[in-house]
Structure 1
């Protein structure tokens, strides 16, 4: 009996799909991207940092998501929807509700009373249902999850009839036209559809790169190439000015935005062998979803504590030291939060119960 059971298990292991090994360079690149996001959201961060970081950090996330998209090419539509709902929409709803509960408890305290005290209790729920970035004021960072959902879904539907190279090529004209024309209309579309034409281009570029390019293995070669590309990126990013894809702000010109974002993304990818030397960055990169969904809440809580403690008297604002400190704290706090969620609510991180052991 035991031998028969073992034989069955061996056959199951033989036909089970082999999960691709994690590339530490991709994990490290994702770690760099989310650190830039966290710092960019912190009060007190210098304006020059937001100009440079915002020029590419969101496109970098879409490129990295597309880079890893080939694992879903063989999915049926049902499998695709199940995966995207579980890994993106379930965390979106869960962390929104956490943020909403905090908003209800604190909206009549201090500065929040001036901004939100008069709003009806149900007003934030409009943002949850619409997925429109500016309406997600109880948790602004969550806009990225519905944006990635519609982008990944659109790409995989196109992938059933087109090759990645063709999708990337066909995505370029609509993206340019969208950047030039749509923001001026003053409209916002539900569930991040107003970001889709631009996001799809980066996702498709990432998918092409993930299939046809390889990251440098040599730290020195990668860093040398990154330094060379960093010069034109700096010039273009700075001259293009402030970018915020969530707010449909693309800087001075469309072509500068597109080129600067791709150059900045290339800098991080080329320097990824160096970044991969850091175990901390690799861990951060493996936990980008948790960090994305919690750092704003930590910022809100720390700002409230600072206000009650009188750390910033009237007329003074937080500086770079505060921004860096709260950013480090918010990321470090993810270590115990991850343990709690893996133990009691792994679904909040898009995990099935049977995959918790591998993620732990």
Structure 2
């Protein structure tokens, strides 16, 4: 069995920490690579590192695998947080309460994902699901066809696909910027545009793994060049901030450039520090990335709930899932809660509960009637 590459876990952990820091409002000042200038493309890139272009999957098998690992957890969390929101409303947290709706529970994750407040970060997971499905089923077949039937050489094929996905990503950014410029927001269009934008970084991850670009990123000189370039963009650009649907960049190319720079810098840094003992903590965060994505905002809420119990704030003060009391001083508490609470929930509540349920179901199937 191949040894697990800890640098990948470290890189994923960095990305997860940036997600939580960004949601806690504490990460946007991290020059030159603020979380919202690259962190979502990073996760497409990470998935692309493990893509195999020459091994297409059956559509049904690929859908089943993606539903089991991505969409099933989010759907179960939608159900759980839909019920929790009813309880919180009864305790005065009206800003977190929403009516029960089967449409919201089963379909909101494919749109805004914020129907039940704590679920608002989930929009990314279906986007990744569809991107993976496309590459594993469609792109892999296209690559094989181009090589066997059309006789394309591998490097030329990679260049053509890479250029195609880059142009498509640029078109997606341009379309998003125009939508928000003219106030014509259409979620049914934003979703596929997110997938198209992320597809470029998914394929970029595959190319980096194929051509072992990580070796160049371990150079201190290379990392210094990337950092200076990122710093220059930060000091000269007005706003380098986007959520893959709200594009505030001055030009269409900037989201691509800032994302590549941020990914390159932290990938190289993750490789350099991966052998360090302190990096194991970040790697541990990376290994627990899914629970953190699912429950980080509930971690924020528990901090606020504790403040309510102490009489410092009132439940009605918690106007939404991102509310923080004096974030200029308390941001690190919210970040720690957003990281630790999901891990504890997953280890001591969710995993034991699921394991017990599966064990009982298995015994029932094997018990003679």
Following TM superposition, by how much is the alpha carbon of 1:71 offset from its aligned partner in structure 2, in angstroms?
Answer: 8.8
Q: Which residues of 2 match residues 225-240 of structure 1 at below 5 A?
A: 225-237=222-234, 239=237
| Alignment partner, residue 290 of structure 1 | 291
Q: Indicate conservation of the 8 Å contact 2:28/2:35, yes or no.
A: no
- 1:303 and 1:170 map into 2 onto residues whose CA distance is 47
The 5-angstrom pairing of residues 170-181 of structure 1 reads: 170-181=164-175
Aligned-pair distance for 1:342?
3.3
Determine whether 1:147 maps to 2:127.
Answer: yes
Structure 1 position 206 matched with structure 2 position 205: yes
Which of residues 336, 341, 364 in structure 2 aligns to 1:333?
341
Write out aligned runs for 1:1-360 (5 A).
20-43=2-25, 45=26, 47-49=28-30, 52-70=34-52, 73-107=55-89, 110=92, 112-113=93-94, 115=95, 120-122=99-101, 125=104, 128-129=107-108, 131-133=110-112, 135-138=114-117, 139-156=119-136, 157-162=138-143, 165-183=159-177, 184=179, 185-189=184-188, 192-216=191-215, 221-237=218-234, 239=237, 241-276=239-274, 277=276, 278-311=279-312, 317-340=325-348, 341-345=350-354
Q: Is the 8 A contact 2:27 2:34 kept in 1?
A: no
TM-score, scaled relative to structure 1: 0.79
Q: Is the 8 A contact 1:29 1:269 kept in 2?
A: yes
CA distance, structure 2, for counterparts of residue 272 and residue 223 of structure 1: 12
Q: 1:53 to 1:335 in 2, by over 3 A?
A: closer
Secondary structure (helix, strand or coil) at the match of 1:245 reads coil
**CA displacement 1:47-80 (0-9 Å, x = unmatched):** 4249811101111111111111229934322221
Query: In 1, distance between residues paired with 2:190 and 2:124?
Result: 10
| CA distance 1:191–1:290, change in 2 (3 Å) | farther
**301 and 334 in structure 1: CA distance in 2 versus 1, 3 angstrom threshold:** closer
Partner of residue 4, structure 1: none
Cα pair 2:79 2:105 within 8 Å, conserved: no
Counterpart contact for 2:307–2:313, Cα < 8 Å: yes
Task: Quote the RMSD (CA, aligned, Å).
Answer: 3.2
Q: Choose 291-300 or 187-196, whichever is displaced more.
A: 187-196
Alpha-carbon spacing, 1:261–1:336, altered in 2? closer, same or farther (3 Å): same
In structure 2, the CA distance between the partners of 1:71 and 1:99, relative to structure 1 (3 Å rule), is: farther
Corresponding pairs, count: 325
Tell me the TM-score normalised to structure 2 length.
0.77
- Partners of 1:128 and 1:191 lie apart in 2 by 15
